Amino acid sequence: MTQDEIIKISRLQNQGMGYKRISALTGLPINTVKSYCRRHPTGEFGVCLQCGVPVKQTPHKRTKKFCSDACRMAWWKEHPKQVQRKLYHLTCAWCGKPFDSIGTSTRRYCSRICYADARRKEVQP
């Protein structure tokens, strides 16, 4: 690996790019890039996805993508398609109507009304 390639890898790593991206931009094998980056960590700072401000990283913690909660919320508001949500198709235990649930498959009722009706029915003899 030449000195120019080392400088380019370090610069791209400081910009917050991953191994695959750096490999594609430099033309080096991905394992070479991984080995170099792991042996020469320069990841003290990442870059905020929203505003581009350097974000100080804490060692041995998950990498921070945003400089503040305001930037995080603004970015997710602008990129709703990148949220990974799982959609479940379920049937209400009280009324029998089909309903969709985002994120959890343990819901039993389609609404608070059905939940309350089911509880009242169970209490009465």
- Read out DSSP for 51-119? T--EEEPPTTSPPP--SSHHHHHHHHHH-GGGS---EEEEE-TTT--EEEEES-S----SSHHHHHHHH
Q: Residue 116 above 90 pLDDT?
A: yes
Name which of 16, 9, 60, 47 is nearest 31 in CA terms: 9
**What integer pLDDT is reported at residue 125 of this predicted model?**
46
pLDDT digits (tens, 9 = 90+) for 6-33: 888 888 887 878 899 999 999 999 999 9
Name which of 28, 118, 15 is nearest 110 in CA terms: 118
Give the rounded percent of residues in the chain with a pLDDT score beyond 90.
37
Q: What pTM does this model have?
A: 0.41
> Does residue 84 contact residue 91 with C-beta atoms inside 8 Å?
no
Q: Which residue has the higher pLDDT, 78 or 82?
A: 78
**Alpha carbon distance 78, 58 (integer Å):** 27
**What integer pLDDT is reported at residue 2 of this predicted model?**
87
**Alpha carbon distance 120, 28 (integer Å):** 67
Which pair of tokens denotes residue 74? 């603004």
**What integer pLDDT is reported at residue 110 of this predicted model?**
94
**What integer pLDDT is reported at residue 91 of this predicted model?**
95
pLDDT digits (tens, 9 = 90+) for 94-103: 999 999 998 8
**What integer pLDDT is reported at residue 37 of this predicted model?**
83
Break the chain into its structural domains and give their ranges. Answer: 1-42, 44-78, 87-123
